[in-house]
Structure 1
Amino acid sequence: MSIVASPRTRATGAAYATAAYLLWGFLPLYFLLLVPTGPWEIVAARVVFSFVFCLLLLTLARGWRRIIAIIRQPRLLGWTALAGTLIYINWQVFVIGTLSERVVETSLGYFMNPIFTVLLGVFVLRERIRRLQWVAIGVAVLAVVVIIIGYGAFPWIALSLTASFGLYGLVKKKVGPAVDAVSGLTLESFWLLPVAAVQLIIVAQTTGITFGNVSTGHTLLLLFAGIATAVPLLLFAAGARRINLTVIGMIQFITPIMQFLTGVLILHEPMPAERWIGFIIVWVAVGVFLIDLALAARRSRRTHR
């Protein structure tokens, strides 16, 4: 416990988590550099090259004993398969949203994710939540209704990202420390290899594989997709072990803010008045959520003293 309380340890953890969320925030620009590669080939490349990268990490860190111990437990294997399915949905929807010029909508999904996580805590883990958290949930629901009615479109990308990443976090919580970050990502990628193979076969027979057929720089960028996927997840895992959930809860909004700014300022995606209204309501919900986190942290410190 003393290590966790160390100011240096907390600073290191905050730096790791911040780096992870910054990298996630830059992902839309990275995927746009991969054009003309389509979303199905990109995600297949992420799966394959993430798996290769994780195998290298396991070898260098001598982590094969840990992964063998997980393989011997069918229950843990089942959880990693479910986690792999959820993160695949998240990756695929995110890349589709990015390449279809809907980066602003992807940011909406990650703005709402912490609030959805609270709901999962209530209905799945039977946790009791505070009054301000209920207020944040109500305001977030209102925002979605406003966007659907005012903008005239169901935000399926945003809601799919919210649900898939929220459930992925729930699975990770269920598994706990029994599965370390590298072993977990290795197994999740392993389960997705057949899916990636099917996608590559379909792409090869339809639009054609772009890997190795565009330019040397493009090939290197696609190869790097595995590292770009794995590194933020590993940084996040390293940070989460060193800082409390209140700090994580505040830092995580770096990613959707960066994605929103990318969509509006760099990609110039349309922002009609009704979409602005919806986002402003979402930001009010986020503000209530952050105020609740700050108040809870203050009460916790007073109790500790």
Structure 2
Amino acid sequence: MRSGLFNAIFAYIIWGLLPLYWKEFETMPAGEILSHRIIWSFAFVAGLISLQRRWRELAGLLKNRATLLPLVASSVLITINWLIFIWAVNNGHVIETSLGYYLTPLINVALAIGFLREKPTGGQWLAIALAGAGVVLVTIDYGSVPWVSLTLALSFGLYGLVKKRVAVDSSLGLMTETAVVVPAALIYWSYLGASHSAIAWTLPASSLVLLLFAGAATALPLLLFARAAKQLPLSMLGFIQYIGPTLTLILSVTVFEETVSHVTLISFILIWAALIVYAAASIRDARTHSHSAPLEARGGTST
């Protein structure tokens, strides 16, 4: 339990503080930052696979179409998520990224209903309704659909859905996902070099070194989260995950000096209320199952 808590908290602290990291490269186009993120993530995970001597396992995974195709889909989804997040941070939309990740667990509920045929409780339906009202208010306030928030929430939610349907070790899965998009990143690098438009190589030495750590900054929280998911109850992990968007929201106001309108604040309050309702419903459901399990094991019934 203690190890799981450390892994989860550390992962979400990293995710919550990542806007500070990507903001260091705001002079670079989002596509160029993304290409570095993909390539250095691939290199970082390849180093882990080498240390673990798991290349044979990886080769077997790549030969299995039933596993490979979902990982290709998850690779595309997480790449979209990374690109939108980087673009949003460097274009003054940090509040929208925070909103997106607050919405993600509720998007997960909707996806579970639609794709996994899960039956939500009354409390979970109420949470979805409250979050939906928050999104509608933000849409009215912006005068347009908050596409950054919705794209981040949907892409990460669908990413989680795909990963849930395929049981793959976290290191091998991330290695495959980055390998799928590395060729496109390398082609983009070649284009930038041929057109003499690459910004990365003109950065100060300290910034360039920092950019090389994009792989570790990307892969480390994903690997920590995967380990935490195996060590902690889902209800506890659900509470911890709000560390990330909360830190991001604080950064958006205190460091990046983005303004929060009254309508947007009301929208956040509705979404926070939805999360509280959802967490309470989930905990109550978990307790009901834990109390009923011993009775069922003895052939009894619960009330």
| TM-score (normalised: structure 1) | 0.92
Residue aligning to 2:169: 180
Shift of 1:23: 0.5
Structure-2 separation of matches of 1:207 and 1:118: 46
Shift of 1:150: 2.4
Residues 221-232 of structure 1: pairs in structure 2 closer than 5 A:
221-232=210-221
Residue aligning to 1:291: 280
Structure 1 residue runs without a partner (length 5+): 1-9
For residue 79 of structure 2, the aligned residue among 77, 81, 88 is 88
Structure-2 separation of matches of 1:152 and 1:119: 25
Residue aligning to 1:56: 47
Residue aligning to 1:6: none
Residue aligning to 1:3: none
Structure-2 separation of matches of 1:249 and 1:274: 26
Match for 1:284: what amino acid? A
Residue aligning to 1:210: 199
Structure 2 residue runs without a partner (length 5+): 295-303
Shift of 1:190: 0.7
Residues 125-140 of structure 1: pairs in structure 2 closer than 5 A:
125-140=116-131
Match for 1:213: what amino acid? T
Offset from partner CA, 1:85-127 (integer Å, 9 cap, x none): 0000000000011001111000000001001101111110111
Structure-1 separation of matches of 2:196 and 2:155: 28
Structure-1 separation of matches of 2:280 and 2:195: 50
Residue aligning to 1:256: 245
Residue aligning to 1:7: none
Residues 153-172 of structure 1: pairs in structure 2 closer than 5 A:
153-172=144-163
Offset from partner CA, 1:131-182 (integer Å, 9 cap, x none): 1000000111111111111232321000000000000000110002xx1111
Offset from partner CA, 1:31-69 (integer Å, 9 cap, x none): 011232221111100100111111110010111122122
* Secondary structure of 2:53 counterpart: coil
Structure-2 separation of matches of 1:156 and 1:195: 25
Percent identity between the aligned chains? 36
Match for 1:61: what amino acid? Q
* Equivalent residue pairs, number: 294
Structure-2 separation of matches of 1:45 and 1:240: 28
